[in-house]
Every structure is written in C-alpha cells, then in structure tokens.
Structure 1
Amino acid sequence: MAFSAGRSEATRGSAVVPEPQQASQALLRPVRLGNAFEDTVGRLLQTIKLGVLAPGDSLPPERELATRLGVSRDTVREAIKSLADAGYLVSRRGRYGGTFLAESLPRPTEGVVRFGRADIDDALRLREILEVGAARMAATRTLTAAERDGLWSRLSDVRCACLEDYRRLDSRLHLAVAEAAGSPSLVPLVAENRMRLNALLDQIPLLRRNITHSNEQHEAIVIAILAGDPDAAAAAMQAHIAGSAALLHGFLD
C-alpha cells in the first residue's frame, strides 16, 4: 500500500501525488528487533528528512507500518507519539484523521552546534571500541564487593532518575563500567568520549520509551558483568550503543 496523500483534493487539486515507491520500500524495511523502538523512530525520520513524505502528507496506517517494519503496533504507536511530541508529526481524529507530517518541521535552536555524519560516526565508533571492550573486560574480573555494590548503586540511580538528571546519571553508570574493567587509563578515555557523546545527545529529545529500553539494557549489562559472562556483557553493551546510534543518526543526519 502506498503512502496516502494526506491532504484532500480540495487543497491539493485533483491530481494524484505518487509515492516514491522504491525509496519508501527501502527505508521502511524490517528493523533490528533488539532496538525496535529506536530503529522505528530512525526509519520514520529518514522518510521525513529525505523527502519521501512531504509536509502535510499522511503516514501509512499503524498496521501497515508494523508489518513493513516487522515490529508490533505498540512500538509503531510509541514511535509516532514520540515524534509527535518532538514536533515532526501531527495526529488528527475524525473522518479524515490519521498521522501527518507537520507542515513546519523543528529547526535547530539558534546557536546550537551542528554535527555532521562524520562527527557522529567517529564518536560512536570510538564508543563501541572503548565501552564494549570495557564491559567484556569487567566481566572477566573478580570484582571486589565495593565494585559490585558500586555497579548496582549506579544502576539503581539511573533507573530512578528524573529527566533532568538522566543524562548525568547515565554517564556515571557507564563510567562505573569502565572503572570495573580494572584499567585506570581507560576511564579518562571513556569520560572524554562521553563528553562528545553527550554533546550529540543534548541535540535530540529525551524519549521516554528509549529511556525505559536503555534501562533494561543497562540492567542486562550489569547482570552479565556480575555473572562473569564476557560475551553477554559485550553483546548487551553493543546492543545498547546501537540504539543510541539509531536515534542520533535519525535526528541529526
């Protein structure tokens, strides 16, 4: 099914506006289930930013999007709500209701630093090298009681964080994982990369569903480290980083 035109013939005329079929099929393809919400947000943002959808055009129905993306309707609904809260989409009720691309998309605030894809890729690749390795190494060590308690405490802090404190407490947990790796030289490298990452993350909205998912991934990382399972710890950290990457590329590319 093609994208619906979204506007009535009275406002757009009698001509049918064709959907760029190949582009929409390529972009709205099945996502990685490990980060279904984040990837769904990223794919929808791609269709918006690459012009597959024009201002005022409607999205396909939730059921169709769920089928095309290979996710649940709840995931699609939450992604749409998040993008509506961020100003990209508008939901309307009634006979001609649905979800529509906003007529005017959000613009960067004046004075905000702009990042290119190369900047994002560099920060994320370095993060993957540092933090996946840190999680794996931490899981190979016999941690002291203080180190184990520190990880649980940092995990608890970020899980209970309000939105204003979330990024700071999230950073503290990731630094605690780096500390648990047992290499003092690693911690300042992770801290420096985290500063770059936070500068990127500060340019995109905090999405509640992403926070919930991130906290589930945080728990998986910490449990794997404490269980002494290096492969599981590395895989959980890799999945966590991939979710952040999907959102950053979606909003900032």
Structure 2
Amino acid sequence: MALTDDAVDRIRQMIITGEVRPGDRLPPEKELAARLGLSRNSLREAVRALTMLRVLETRRGDGTYVTSLNPELLLGTMSMVVDLHQDSTIRHFLEVRRLLEPEATAMAALHVGADRLAKLAALLAEAAQLTAARPVDRAALRANGEDFHRLIAHASGNPVLATIVETVSGKTLRAQAWCGMTDESDLHLTLTEHQAIYEALAAGDTYRARIRAAAHVAGIEDAVLTVR
C-alpha cells in the first residue's frame, strides 16, 4: 500500500506542477514507470486508484488520460462515501447539508433567473399532480424532489457548492427521507415547503429563501433519523 500511495503522490505532483494537464495523455506505462522510479505493478495500482477517483481515465487501446479535473466530476465520488455510511456518522452528513443548503438557496435567490424559475414551477405543478394521485407514485415524487433541489443548488452560481450539497444528501439519505414520510400529510407538507422556497426565490428574497430552506432541510433530517 505504501508503494501505491507513493506512486499516486508522484502522479499527483505531475498534475499539480503542470507536467501533465487536464486532457493530456500520460506517457506509456514503461516510460512513466522508469521516469518516476516505480515498478510497473505499483504504477498500475496507482492508475487504477486515480481512475476510481476520476482523476485519470483509461481508454482501451489509446492510453491513460488526465480527466477534465472538473470539481463536479471529482466531488461526485463523495456520493459513494455518503451512501456507505449507515451508522451514527450519518448525522455528520446531515449536519453538513443543514449548514450548506440554506446558504446555497439564499445564493440562488440572487442568480436563479427566469428559465430556472420556469423549470421549478413546472416541477411544482408535477409534484402537485403526483401528490394528489392515488396511489401515490413515491418513486416519481422522490425524483421530482431531487430535481427540485438539484436545480436550486446549481442556481447558486457556485458549481462546487452545488455538487457538495447534492452529494451530501446522497441517494440513500434521500430514499430514507421519503421512507420517513409515512402519512399523506407529510407529502402535502413537502409540497407546501417547496412552494414556499420557490416563492422566496421568485421574489429574490435571500432571507426568506434561507429560512424556508433551513426549515425544509430540518424536516428532511427528522425524516431520515426516524427510519434509522
């Protein structure tokens, strides 16, 4: 493991120093191993690890390339970490979401724009129909809610913040939150809270956007902890 860690660090240094840049192809394995003073096995392990982290991309028959290193791409690997935490530490991720999502929503109030507002309004209309239907299609309603929150996070204008907010919610947490909504009244409350967030965004009211989002996220946290 120590040799692999050393190999990972050396490739990382090549990227940091600009020796290789986003989109560049790494030298052939034999040449790169000799340049870095590594065994080919250690180099392969390092490439495999960095590929899983989306720092490198191996193209069959063409070689290994540095990815775009886009923060959204790299931070996306955090979602697996969130989904794998099934014990009390899940509270830590919930706390991070509680801290960040209201601020992202407040920022969105300043940058949301007419196009995103129209998409949010369409999602709310769809959610209203799904909530009123019998039986309720919870999978569709959950997907609608995910789209609603994702759109707001990206409307913040900060792609790093948006990716972190989206990631710390995690697929597992989102599924657990919807499992915690056992009554019809819970579904109507979610719709009402989404509507309140939308109205704050439409008014460009950062204060109300922050408060509405904070109250909504607190409810999500309660729902998740209820089913644990």
TM range, smaller chain: 0.5 to 0.7
Determine the structure 1 residue equivalent to 2:98: 128
- Alignment of 1:139 with 2:109, yes or no, is yes
Q: Do 1:123 and 1:193's aligned partners in 2 also have CA atoms closer than 8 Å?
A: yes
Is residue 181 of structure 1 aligned with residue 150 of structure 2?
A: no
Deviation at 1:114, TM superposition (A): 8.3
Contact 1:138–1:180 (CA under 8 A) maintained in structure 2: yes
- The alpha carbon displacement at 1:203 in A equals 5.3
Native 8 Å contact 1:132 1:234 kept in 2: yes
**Counterpart position of 1:116:** 87
1:1-253 matches, cutoff 5 A = 115-119=86-90, 121-141=91-111, 143-161=112-130, 162-195=137-170, 196-201=172-177, 204=180, 206-252=182-228
1:251, CA displacement in angstroms?
Answer: 2.9
* Secondary structure in structure 2 of the residue aligned to 1:115: coil
**2: CA distance, partners of 1:115 / 1:232:** 33
What's the offset of the Cα at 1:199? 4.5
Q: Structure 2 counterpart of 1:193, which letter?
A: V
Instruction: Tell me if the contact between 1:158 and 1:173 (Cα under 8 Å) persists in the aligned partners.
Output: no
Q: Over the residues paired in the alignment, what is the CA RMSD in angstroms? A: 2.2
Residues 202, 240 of structure 1: alpha-carbon distance in 2 compared, 3 angstrom cutoff: closer
User: How much identity, in percent, do the aligned residues show?
Assistant: 24
Q: Deviations over 1:62-115 (max 9, x none)?
A: xxxxxxxxxxxxxxxxxxxxxxxxxxxxxxxxxxxxxxxxxxxxxxxxxxx883
Is the 2:100–2:165 contact (alpha carbons within 8 Å) kept by the matching residues of 1?
Answer: yes
Partner of 2:9: none
Which residue type is aligned with residue 159 of structure 1?
A: A
Q: Which has the larger radius of gyration?
A: 2
Q: Which runs of 5+ in 2 are unaligned?
A: 1-83, 131-136
User: How many pairs are equivalent?
Assistant: 138
What is the TM-score when the length of structure 2 is the normalising length?
0.54
Q: Which runs of 5+ in 1 are unaligned?
A: 1-112
CA deviation after TM superposition for structure 1 residue 179, in Å: 1.7
TM-score, scaled relative to structure 1: 0.49
